[in-house]
Structure formats: C-alpha cells, structure tokens
Structure 1
C-alpha cells in the first residue's frame, strides 16, 4: 500500500531550522520539507530550478531583480542560475521540490549545508 504523508505535520515536527528533510521521491526529484526562520543567505543553483511551497507562515525570497513575498498556500519556482536569499521573519514551514542532484545551499557551502544522508534522516 502506498505511503500517505502530511508535509505540514512533518515540517511542524522539525526542531532544526533550515535543515530540509526528504519526505518523498518523484522521478529525478526529491520532495522536501523544512522549518525556516531567519535569513538563509544568498546562493544559486546553476543547473536546477527550486520550487518553494509555503505550508504555514510567510516567506520572502530576495532576488537581485526584486523580492517575492509568499504566504500560506503560495508557490514560487526560482529559475536555475538565479541568485536568491530566502528570509522568514517568523517560523515558516515549506515544502520544496528539487532535483536529486541539487545541493540545497547551491553554490555556497556553510554551516547550513546538509548532506543527502542528513536530509534523509527520520524526523
């Protein structure tokens, strides 16, 4: 029997900020959830798009050419190669869809960078 998951419930159970967890696979992509709060940092994914879907709260995605404001139920795809900086003034739960090859911190490696093994950990 297929497994049914609740992205919002799984994201709400996360205690670490900016540490995505993989909850499903779709062809060559992972579906991830994360609990966000604060400023992530500028980065880009040179070869992959990145889909953000806000489950709860508000998310601002700063782009070099402007700002995207997302509320609960809103979705935005950051095109490949576009530098962006996600910001959550208060706790925000998101679902992400990224190719399996996507490094979640893009072209930047820092304290927020999580390995694939870390993202696959159970909640």
Structure 2
C-alpha cells in the first residue's frame, strides 16, 4: 500500500452484503471491509480470533459458549473480539459497515458452520478494486 485509503471511498466501491473486501494487509492479516444486513450464520473459527470494528450502523453478535447463549450489541465506533473457538453469528437489522482483522486466508464462514444460505458468500475476501 503506497497511498492512504479513505474508508468512505472504499465502502462506496461495493454493495454486496456479507461479502468482505480486502482493504489492505498488516503482516499476515487482512484488513477487510464488509457491509452487513440481516443475519449471518452460526460459525466458529477454530484457530483464530475475529476482530470487529463497527464503522456505520449497529451490529449484534450472538455468542454460544459454555452451554449458554448471549448477544453483544456494537453501536457505531465499537470494537469487539470473538475469541477463537467461540460459535458466533453476526447480525444487523438496519444494516451496518464493519472493519475486520483476520489472518490472510481465513474463510468468513469459519471451519465449523451451518449450511451457507444464498445471501452469504463463503470467501477468504475479494481484493477491493483500486485500493492501495
């Protein structure tokens, strides 16, 4: 990356929901942007934590751990890390934009998940056109 990237410009470059775009890289991590609305699937990342920063809107994350289920609510500007191995399901009724940090090659639907419905793209991220 040789030039700054305006997040507003990057977010305006795509409309697909639940299909993260790779904005840049930090060491062996992707910095990804995603637009979300509705519900994702319950899934687990066995070997990595998942970092969320809500840029616009509000995101809820359902968590299942130790036999209990809870929801964390992330308003705009909030950060949350889902620990590796914790089953989780992001959702946003009104829609939101999020920035994610994940090791390069991490599949967004995790290694253990429900069947992937048609409104979700199972991907390791698509390079954002024209970035960096």
Tell me if both proteins adopt one fold, taking TM over 0.5 as the criterion: yes
More strand by share: 2
Q: CA deviation at 1:24?
A: 0.5
State TM-score, norm by structure 1. Answer: 0.89
Matched residues in 2 for 1:15 and 1:86: separation?
A: 18
Q: Distance in 2 between matches of 1:98 and 1:8?
A: 21
Q: Give the whole-Å Cα distance in 2 for the aligned partners of 1:11 and 1:105.
A: 21
1:103 corresponding residue in structure 2: 107
Q: Is the 8 A contact 2:40 2:90 kept in 1?
A: yes
Secondary structure of the structure 2 residue equivalent to 1:36: strand
Partner of 1:78: 82
Q: SS state of the match for residue 44, structure 2? A: coil
Matched length: 122
Which residue pairs with 1:120 in the alignment? 127
Which has more radius of gyration? 2
Residue segments in structure 1 that go unaligned for 5+ positions in a row: none
User: How far off its partner does 1:15 sit?
Assistant: 1.1
Superposition RMSD in Å = 1.9
Q: CA deviation at 1:32?
A: 0.3
Residue 91 of structure 1: how far off its partner (Å): 1.5
TM-score by length of 2: 0.83
1:44-64: CA deviations, max 9, x gaps?
Answer: 100011100000000000001
Residue 15 of structure 1 corresponds to 15
Deviation per residue, 1:41-83 (Å, 9 max, x gap): 1001000111000000000000013111001100001000100
Q: What SS does the aligned partner of 1:5 have?
A: coil
1:61 aligns with 2:61: yes
More helix, by proportion: 1
Q: Give the superposition deviation at 1:2.
A: 2.4
